Amino acid sequence: MKKSYLLLMVLFLCFQAKAQETCDTAVDLATLTSPYDGDTSTSADDNLISCFNDGTANTNNSPDQYFYILVPAGSTLTIGQSANEYDSTVVVFYGDCTNPTEIRCFDDDDLQTVVWANDTGSDQTVYWVQDGYSFSSGAFTLEWSVVACTNATATYSVVSDCANGEQFLIDVDITSLGSATSVTVSDDQGNTQNVSATGLLTFGPYPNATPVIFTIANDQDGDCTQTSNTLTQATCPPDCAAATPIANCGDEISATLVEGEGAWNPLTCGFNTPGTELVYSFTPAETGEYSLEVTAASGGYIDYFWKEASGSCDQTGWTCIDDNNGPGTDLIGTLNAGVQYLFLLDGEGTSAKTATFKIKCPPTCYNGAATYNLVSDCPNGNEQFYVEVNITDMGTATSVTISDDQGSATQQTGATGVFTFGPYPNNTNVIFTIANDNDATCVFTSPVQNLIQCPPANDEAAGAVELTLDLGTSCGPNKITDISNASTSGSDSEVDPTCIDQYNPSNGNGDLWFYFVAPSSDVTLNTSDITGNIFSVSTALYSGTPGNLTEIGNCGNTATKSYTGLNVGETYYYRMWDYGNDGIGAWSLCGWYLDCTNAAVEYDVVSDCANGEQFYATVIVNDLGSAASLTISDDQGSASQSVSASGTYSFGPFANNTPVVFTIANDQNAACTLTSPIQNQVACPPSNDECDAAIQVFAGSAVNEIINDLTNVGATASPEATPTTCFGYSGGDVWYTLAVPPSGNVVIETANSSSGETGVDTVVTVYTGTCGNLTQIACDDDGADTGNYSKVTVTGQTPGDMLYLRIYEYNNDNAGGFGLTAYDESMLGVTGVDKSQFAAYPNPVKNILNLSYAQNITDVTVFNLLGQQVMSKKVNANIGQIDMSGISAGAYFVIVNTVDGAKTVKVIKQ
C-alpha cells in the first residue's frame, strides 16, 4: 500500500546526455508505431516527480523515459499505457522542460488514458514522461493517437429516484460540443439523444446496480468519440422509517451489504465508509448497559453506529460503536427502556460484506472493584509477606466473599474496606477471587500477588553499603559486582532525584544505596557489566545524612561520572536504579581517585616541509600539577626530556605520516601519568593550501570536457572566514581560481578524478573579491548526481573576473584525490570557436603540437595543472606549431586564442 505524502514539488528536470531521458533527447512518437513496447530499467533518473492518487507529488528515485508528439491546434491527443510490468508514474505536459504546462500527473491507476483537446489556438508539443514509483522500473506498452477534431466535454451525475422505486437517473451535462456542430449521446442500455447545443440531458430510470456507460459521438467526424466511466447506484439510501426491526436483545441478526457505493459517510469511527448501508431499529425493554457482539463476518470492515430514532434520517448524529471485520464485543452504552434506537452498518469498502451480530442484553449484575497491596514481613526477620485486599466498590452486591487460592479462610463483607490475608512464604503466587453473594455470574479475580524475596539491606539510604574507592585511574580490587535490583522499592523517605523522567518506582522496581568516604576532592564512579532485562542504570550522588540528603553533581544514566570539589573525609551517598524502574537485572560499581594532580598539557604539530617531508611535535606544559618534575617521552625512541617548569618542549623531526604518542610522567607519583592523542602530519600541505597560492582551473563547454585532478592530502586550515551557509568545515581546505566565462555563468562540479580516485566528501564554496577580503556567493555540499560530491551554479557574474574556489572535505576526516569540472554550456566549444574547423594534433604529443583553424589564431598559452603558465607564443596565422619538447611529461591546458574566441585543449605531453 502506497503512503501519500503531502509534499509538493515543482517540476525539475536534470541534465543527462542519454537518449529518451530529457526534453532535448526525447523520442518523437511520430517516428514510432503505436502500440510501442519500452523498458525503463536501463534509463537514468532525471525526472523528480512522482504523483499520488490525491494529486500531490514527491521526489522519487526511479529511472524514466521522455517521449513527445506534435498536437496541431484543434486536434485531440489520446495516450496511455495499455500494459506494464511495474508500478509506474506519469507526467504529461505541453511546452518544454523549462516552461511546462501540466496536463496530467498521476500514479494509480497506472493504465489511465489521457485525452487532451488542443484548444490553445496554436500547435503544441506534448511530452509524456514515463516514470516509476519510488525505485520501480520495468517494461511498458504505450498507445496513442492524434485526431484532427476536438471531443465534446460532459459531466455525469447519478440522481437517485428511490421515491419511485429501486431505481436511479443519470444527468449528462454537455458543457462543450468540441469541434462538432451536433453530437449523439447514447447509453449501453439502448437510449439515444441527439443535441446541437450544450445543456443537460436526463437518461433513465435504471434499476439499482445497473452499470451504465455513455458514448458521445461527433456527428461530423467519427474519430472524435468518447465514452464515460461506468455509472450506477448500488442501492437506495437508507429509509429510517423502514428500518429492519430487532425484536429482542440477544436475537442473532444476519446482515448482507451488497457491492457498490452507498449514500452515507458518518466518519465518527474515524474511517471513510463508501460502501452500502443497512439500518435496524431496536426498542429496549429495560434500561441498562448494552453491548454489540459480532459472531461472524466476511468481506472486510463494517462500521457500526447508533443513535435515537427521533433524530434526522441522514449521515449525521451517529455514535460510533466500533469497526469490525471479525468476531468481537463492543460496549454500546446505556439505552433507556421504551426509547427507539437506530443501528447503522456501513462498509469501509465497496465490496460485498456479511456479518452476524446481536445486541447483548444488560448484565444482571455488575462487578465491584478492588486493589491489592503487598506487605513485607522482612523487617521482622521473616521471609514472608501479607496481602491487603481493599474492596473499593461493591458493584450490585450487598455482600461479597473474598478467597485466595492458597486455602486461607475466606472473608465475607457487606461494605467496602481493607481485608488482610497471609502470611505467605516469599515467592508464592497468590490469586484472589471476589464473588457476588447475590448473583453467581458476577465474579472477578486479582492479578498474581507475590513478593519474590526480601528487599536488599541497601534498599533504603539508611542501609547503604560501603564502597571503597581504588587509588588510580580505573576499577581496582574494591569493585562491587552482581548488584541486583530484584525486590527493591522506592525510597519514599528521600527526595526524588532531579532526573525524575528516569525514575518511576510505580513501574515495579526501586533503588539501591551505597556510600563512600571521600579520600580526595576529585573522584570518579563507574557503572559496568549490566545484565538481565535492563539496558542502562541511572545514578545520583548526595551529601548529608539519610532523611536529609542534598543531590550534587549530574543526575542521569551516564556510565562514568567524575565529581570535583568534594570535602575530603565527608560521607557521600550514591543512589542507583534501573532507568525507568521497569526491568530486573544486575550490574557492577566501582570508583577511583588520585592522590596527585595531573599536569596541564597541550600538543601541537609543526610542519618542517621546508627541510623535507617531515614535521616536529611539541608538548606545551602549562602547569606541572602536583609534580615537582615531569619526564616527557615519545614512542619513537626520541631522547626523553625532564622538565621542572612550564614551557614548550619540541620533539622530532619525524617523517610524514608517523603517528607519535607522548607520555608525560609525574616523577614523584606514577599514578599521575598522561598519554597524548596521536600527533601526526600525513603529508606536507599542498602548494595551494592558502588563498593567496590558489591554482587556476579552466572551464569547458560541457560537463567533464575538462577534468582537473585535485587533492586535499596534507591540507591545513586557512585564516579566511569559515563558510557561512555550508557546514562541516574543520580545516583541510585547498584553493583554486576560475575565470568567469563570457556568459557570466558557470557550473562547478566535483567528481571522481580522471584516474578513478573516489571517496572524498567534498564541499565547494565560491567567492568573489581578493584574499583577505572575500565575499561568499555560493556553496554546496552534496548537490552532484553521484557520491558525496558537490555541484554549484554561479550566475550573473562579470565575464573575465576571477572566482575563488575553496574546497574542503566534510568534517576533514578523509583525504585523497578527486576531480573538478567547470563548464558553461552556452560556450558551445567556448565563445564561438567552430569545433568542426579546429584541430590540435598529435595528442599525446612528444615534441611539436600542430594547430589549425579556419580563422586567424592570434596566440597560444600553455598552463600546467597547477595553473602556472609554462610557455606562450604569438601565431597570427590559421596554422601554427607549438614546440613542447622542452617541457616535462604530464598533462597541460593549451589555450588557443582566435578571432572567434578561445578554445581550451587538454594535452598529454609524453
Give domain 240-360's CATH architecture. Answer: Sandwich (2.60)
pLDDT at residue number 51: 57
Per-residue pLDDT at 15 exceeds 90: no
pLDDT at residue number 5: 30
Per-residue pLDDT at 378 exceeds 60: yes
Least-confidence region, from 190-194, 387-391, 614-618, 835-839: 835-839
The grid cell for 75 is 486536434
Question: Quick one: DSSP state of residue 692?
Answer: G
Q: CA-based angle 441:442:444, to the nearest 5?
A: 125
Cell 421504551 -> residue: 338
The grid cell for 697 is 582551473
Per-residue pLDDT at 14 exceeds 70: no
Least-confidence region, from 644-653, 679-688, 856-865: 856-865
Q: Could you tell me which of 905, 864, 852, 872 has the C-alpha nearest to residue 888? A: 864
Q: Could you tell me which of 720, 718, 716, 694 has the C-alpha nearest to residue 772? A: 720
Tell me what the mean pLDDT of segment 736-751 comes to. 91
The hierarchical CATH code for the domain 27-147 is: 2.60.120
pLDDT category of residue 520 using cuts at 50, 70 and 90: very high
Judged by DSSP in three states, 812 sits in helix
pLDDT category of residue 866 using cuts at 50, 70 and 90: low
pLDDT at residue number 832: 61
pLDDT at residue number 60: 66
pLDDT category of residue 513 using cuts at 50, 70 and 90: very high
What does the alpha-carbon distance between residue 675 and residue 697 come to, in Å, rounded to a whole number?
Answer: 44
Is the CB of residue 806 less than 8 Å from the CB of residue 731?
no
Q: Could you tell me which of 507, 519, 678, 549 has the C-alpha nearest to residue 605? A: 678
Least-confidence region, from 499-503, 542-546, 842-846: 842-846
Beta-carbon contacts of residue 810 (< 8 Å; ≥ 6 apart): 727, 728, 761, 762, 763, 781, 788
pLDDT, tens digit, for every residue of 576-634?
999 999 999 999 999 999 989 899 999 999 999 999 999 999 999 999 999 999 999 99
pLDDT, tens digit, for every residue of 261-294?
898 999 999 999 999 999 999 999 999 999 999 9
pLDDT, tens digit, for every residue of 619-634?
999 999 999 999 999 9
What is the maximal distance between C-alpha atoms in the chain? 122
Q: Could you tell me which of 337, 340, 230 has the C-alpha nearest to residue 279? A: 340
Number of H helices, E strands in the chain: 0, 66
Least-confidence region, from 116-125, 275-284, 287-296, 426-435: 116-125
| Same fold: 691-827 with 835-909 | no
Q: Where are the domains of the chain?
A: 27-147, 153-227, 240-360, 369-445, 457-593, 600-675, 691-827, 835-909
Q: Could you tell me which of 441, 528, 438 has the C-alpha nearest to residue 479? A: 528
Beta-carbon contacts of residue 812 (< 8 Å; ≥ 6 apart): 728, 729, 730, 731, 732
Tell me what the mean pLDDT of segment 340-350 comes to. 96
The hierarchical CATH code for the domain 835-909 is: 2.60.40.3080
pLDDT, tens digit, for every residue of 633-642?
999 999 999 9
pTM over 0.75: no
Helix (H) or strand (E) holding 776: strand 773-780
pLDDT at residue number 830: 43
pLDDT category of residue 46 using cuts at 50, 70 and 90: low
Mean pLDDT of all residues belonging to the chain:
90
The grid cell for 707 is 577534468
Judged by DSSP in three states, 878 sits in strand
pLDDT at residue number 323: 95
What does the alpha-carbon distance between residue 402 and residue 435 come to, in Å, rounded to a whole number?
Answer: 7
Tell me what the mean pLDDT of segment 381-407 comes to. 96
CATH (one of 2.60.120.10, 3.40.640.10, 2.60.120.380, 2.30.30.110) for 457-593: 2.60.120.380
Percent of the chain having pLDDT more than 70?
95
Is the CB of residue 588 less than 8 Å from the CB of residue 480?
yes
Strand pairing category for 733-739 and 695-697: parallel
Please name the amino acid found at residue 488. Answer: T
Q: Write the class of the CATH domain 153-227.
A: mainly beta
Per-residue pLDDT at 819 exceeds 60: yes
Q: Write the class of the CATH domain 691-827.
A: mainly beta
pLDDT, tens digit, for every residue of 401-411?
999 999 999 99
Highest mean pLDDT, choosing among 617-631, 695-709, 712-726:
617-631
pLDDT at residue number 910: 86
Provide the terminal-to-terminal Cα distance of the chain, rounded to the nearest Å.
61
Per-residue pLDDT at 8 exceeds 60: no
Judged by DSSP in three states, 95 sits in strand
What does the alpha-carbon distance between residue 733 and residue 809 come to, in Å, rounded to a whole number?
Answer: 7
Per-residue pLDDT at 508 exceeds 80: no
Beta-carbon contacts of residue 637 (< 8 Å; ≥ 6 apart): none
